[in-house]
Amino acid sequence: MAIANCQLAIGQPTEAATWARENSIGESTKSAFGIWQSAILLMSELSELYQQVILDHNKKPRNFRRLESANHSAEGFNPLCGDHLTVYLNLEDDSVKEVSFEGSGCAISKAAASMMTQAVKGKTKQSAEALFTDFHRMVTGEDYAPDAAERLGNLKIFEGVREFPVRVKCATLPWHTMHAALNNEELVSTE
């Protein structure tokens, strides 16, 4: 069972402290003026990458916790930048009943993990995997099926990542890790 290993790896005080700090930021205090200012500052591609939704998920990641009821989990690493997360799944009757994650990483990987958990919750294993394929094709700039846009929904905001090849792995790491958890692989590395 992978979880025992994961506990060791993610139980480091450093990361716990980092995340505790990030989660206690409180409500978004960004003023309308601040948003306007940021919009001016951001160049077009940069603003595609760091959209407000992504910044928000970075600040307040959803389903960010260890899942006690998990019966599947996997750890993901990006040795290049040190991104590291664990994805927990509670899989019942072949569908994702609960999903959560823990770890540390850049804004793109955190937001991608946060939104991934929202997207796959309640899905069958098969449709979670299909969504991963759609997401992967989108961020790597491959053509994706016309109906994929609909399936991807708000995950479409990650489309801007394709303009930043070195950041693609940040966005896909949580998905690779989710895929590994679904398939009982304990460790995944994007390098």
Partner 1 sequence: MLAAKTTSMDEVNPVEPDTWDVERIRRDFPVLHQTVNGKPLVYLDNAASSQVPQVVIERGSMYLEQEHSNIHRGVHYLSQKATTAYEGARETVKRFINAREAKECVFVRGTTEGINLVMHGYGRKFIERDDEIIISAMEHHANIVPWQMLCEEKGARLRVIPMNDAGELLLDDYHGLFNERTKFVALSHISNALGTINPVKEMIEHAHKYGVPVLIDGAQSAPHIPLDVQDLDCDFFAFSGHKMFAPTGSGVIYGKASLFEKMNPFQGGGDMIRSVTFEKTTFADLPNKFEAGTPAIASQIGLGAAIDYLNEIGREQAARHEHELLRYATEQLAAIEGVRIIGTAKEKASVLSFVIDEIHPHDIGTILDQEGIAVRAGHHCAQPVMQRFNIPATARASFAFYNTKEEVDVLAATIRKVIEIFS
Dihedral sign for Cα atoms in the order 23, 26, 32, 33? negative
How far is it, in rounded angstroms, from Cα 83 to Cα 106?
7
Closer to partner 1 by CB, 106 or 130: give it. Answer: 106
The torsion region of residue 81 among left (phi > 0), alpha (psi -120 to 50) and beta comes to alpha
Please identify which residue in 104, 117, 172, 177 interacts with partner 1, judged by CB under 8 A. 104
* Residues 98 and 67: beta-carbon distance below 8 Å: yes
Q: Least distance in Å: CB of 159 to partner 1?
A: 16
To 10 degrees, what angle do helices 107-120 and 52-59 make? 90
Site string for partner 1, 65-84 (x = CB under 8 A): ---------------xxxxx
Count residues near partner 1 (CB under 8 A): 37
Of 1, 7, 11, 18, the one binding partner 1 by CB under 8 A:
18
Tokens of 111: 């937001």
Indicate whether 20 belongs to the interface with partner 1 (CB under 8 A): no
Residues near partner 1 (CB under 8 A) are: 13-15, 17-18, 21-22, 25, 30, 34, 37-38, 41-43, 45-46, 49-50, 55, 58-59, 80-84, 104-108, 110, 164, 166-167, 170
